Amino acid sequence: MEKRLGFVGIIVEDRNRSAARVNAVLSAYGALIAGRMGVPYPERSCSVITLIVDATSDEIGALTGKLGAIDGVSVKSALGKRK
């Protein structure tokens, strides 16, 4: 399977409860991450993280699956069409 460029959007609803687990997963998959931007959003008591990834669809599925399994975390991803 070939690598594709894409992005992953993550919403962390409760930073105090989930941030350590989210960061542990992101560290484990760090080789796939080309860029990361995180923005706290205090008006909604949450944080938003955007990742630029260069990975196979299986690798991105594994990453997003682990993130989505964390309580209070929502995640979506998209890949470019070109391989």
The CATH number assigned to the domain holding 41 equals 3.30.70.1150
| Residue 13: DSSP 8-state | S
More confident residue, 12 or 1: 12
Residue 83: the pLDDT is 63
Domain count for the chain: 1
Q: Quick: pLDDT tens for 8-50.
A: 999 999 888 999 999 999 999 999 999 999 999 999 989 999 9
Helices (H), 3-77: 15-28, 57-68
54: domain range? Answer: 4-79
Edge-first strand order for the sheet with 73-79 is 33-41, 46-55, 4-12, 73-79
- The pTM of this model reads 0.92
